[in-house]
Amino acid sequence: MTTSTGRIYLLRHGETEWSRSGKHTGRTDVELTERGRDRAVATGALLPRLRGTTDPPALVIASPRIRARVTAELAGLHVDRIDDRLAEWDYGDYEGITTPEIRETVPGWTVWTHPTPGGETAEQVTARADAMLAEAEKHLEQGDVVLVGHGQFSRVLMARWIGLTAAGGQYIAMDPAAWTVLGFEREAHQLAATNVTPALAGG
């Protein structure tokens, strides 16, 4: 287990029309709203404060979705690699519809507790998250790693980092254009900061 001082920084993409309305957005490429673009710029200014340095991270990896790639660019990050493993949970037949709409036919449905027809299972999402975290952790001896992605999948990354199942992500918030920091308490994995936004940080 690493004992490096490097940490993993998760950045969720900025607001889109679909995220604002609660539509499940997995595979669909949706552009940022103007507010989303503004917040992406503002959240980029938080990273040196969170890291305590203006030096570039050792590695920046982004989801292939345009909302993530544009957020990274607006936040001032140089993306070293695009990785499909950082894509959002595949919602299958529920793509583009909201939880209240799904619950009209499946009472009590959540992505955390119920199947997603035509999409990914929790086990498949867990496997992606574990592989992504294992790779990121290998680079921490060189410095900090930034992963730019999505809301639900970032919450799975957080849950898996601290040893919870994927469903543990439902208890952790991740707003658009927010940061979460995955760090260490000695050798133990720790959520060092969660859901840090420009508003919360006074930016």
Tens-digit pLDDT profile for residues 42-97: 999 999 999 999 999 999 999 999 999 999 999 999 999 999 999 999 999 999 99
Whole-angstrom CA distances from 37 to 71, 92, 141, 177 are: 7, 27, 32, 9
Q: How far does Cα 164 stand from its chain's mean position?
A: 16
Q: What is the pLDDT of residue 22?
A: 94
Q: What is the mean pLDDT of residues 116-130?
A: 96
18 near 28, Cβ under 8 Å? Answer: yes
| In the chain, % of residues over pLDDT 90 | 94
Q: How confident is the model at residue 199 (pLDDT cuts 50, 70, 90)?
A: confident
Count how many residues are written for the chain: 203
Under a CB-based contact definition with an 8 Å cutoff, are residues 176 and 150 in contact?
A: no
1 has pLDDT over 50: no
User: Residue 187: pLDDT band by 50, 70, 90 thresholds?
Assistant: confident
Which pLDDT value is given to residue 201?
A: 53
> Residue 5 has what pLDDT?
76
Phi, psi values for residue 62, rounded to 5° = -125, 155
Which residues are known catalytic residues? Answer: 13, 88
How many percent of the chain have pLDDT more than 70?
96
How far apart are the C-alpha atoms of 200 and 203, rounded to whole Å?
Answer: 7
- Whether the pLDDT of residue 152 is over 70: the answer is yes
Mean pLDDT (whole number) for 130-141: 96
pLDDT of residue 203: 42
